[in-house]
Amino acid sequence: MKLKTKTMEWTGQSLKLLDQRKLPFVEEYVECRSHKEVAHAIKEMIVRGAPAIGVTAAFGYVLGYREFKNGNLKEWMEQVKYTLSQTRPTAVNLFWALNRMEKVFLENINEKDLDTILENEAMRMAYEDIETNKAIGKNGAELIKDGSTVLTHCNAGALATVDYGTALGVIRAAVESGKRVKVFADETRPYLQGARLTAWELMKDGIEVYVITDNMAGWLMKRGLIDAVVVGADRIALNGDTANKIGTYSLAVLAHRNNIPFYIAAPVSTIDPTIKSGKEIPIEERKAEEVTHCGGSRIVPEGVKVLNPAFDVTENSLITAIITEKGVVKPPFEENIKKILEV
């Protein structure tokens, strides 16, 4: 059983991941043959983006099962799940995927073909993700007017998913429907996902894209050069508060001030119904080197103190709508999120 997309390739024996740290200059794949190698790939951002992380972890779970030699299988799989879960704390899709894999494991623990059952479940997640993204794109495309200029932040495209993308899926679907769409991609410091990844994706698709520095957005909004903001999400609370790449909150405030619609595009699996508001979302703090260095070169004084939260939280009052595969969720968010979770 095999899978091959821009982001990942499941060979049946290993998981090959496009090394997103090296884009756009080098297109190179890292091969993972164990769950610990998958965990390393997630933690070190060889693969990134909430949906992609979730599916990657699912295949990591399969590899972990295959590594079992002797002892207590259930205890071994608990350790496999724990190792994978300790990689990125903010993206809820990671935990959603691992819980789903664990449920299938426990329900079929005595089956002789458990290996195939687990592999099938990971493959099912991968193909579901692609279809989910296309549905998100279709639903979101209706919100994008012909001739629009859309601002996006970080990378919520094919590279952040199994394929197609969430926020970029909306843009892709709008273009595929015949609409003329221009994109401004925030560079997204400190990891430059917008400058390196979003620009690379959109250029490959022939979609007009301009890279802008993060601090240009407000001025462009004020000048009337941005018609909508569409971003992805790593975790959405029950009330609609949304965690996404650091800098998203600032864009939401600016969009609100300039009367520009601000959309979140994410699968329902990114909604965490156990969290009532954004105040409960854990925020990952990453290593200082991502801020102190750029392209391998130091850009700040030696010894300076650094803060590097990877995400921020945008409260629901700044969000126009949340675009999911099950439809577009509008305020009141808690009430309508509960409805969509029941569908």
Active centre residues (catalytic) = 234
Angstrom CA distances, 118 to 3, 63, 100, 103, 112, stand at 15, 10, 10, 10, 12
The CA angle 95-100-103, to the nearest 5 degrees, is 125
Collapsed DSSP state (helix, strand, coil) of residue 207: coil
Q: Cis ω on the peptide bond leading into residue 24 (within 30° of 0)?
A: yes
Q: Are 124 and 53 in contact (CB under 8 A)?
A: no
Secondary structure in 3-state letters for 4-33: ECCCEEECCCCEEEECCCCCCCCCCEEEEC
CA 87/CA 85 separation, integer angstroms:
6
Listed residue (8, 230, 56) closest to 136, CA to CA: 230
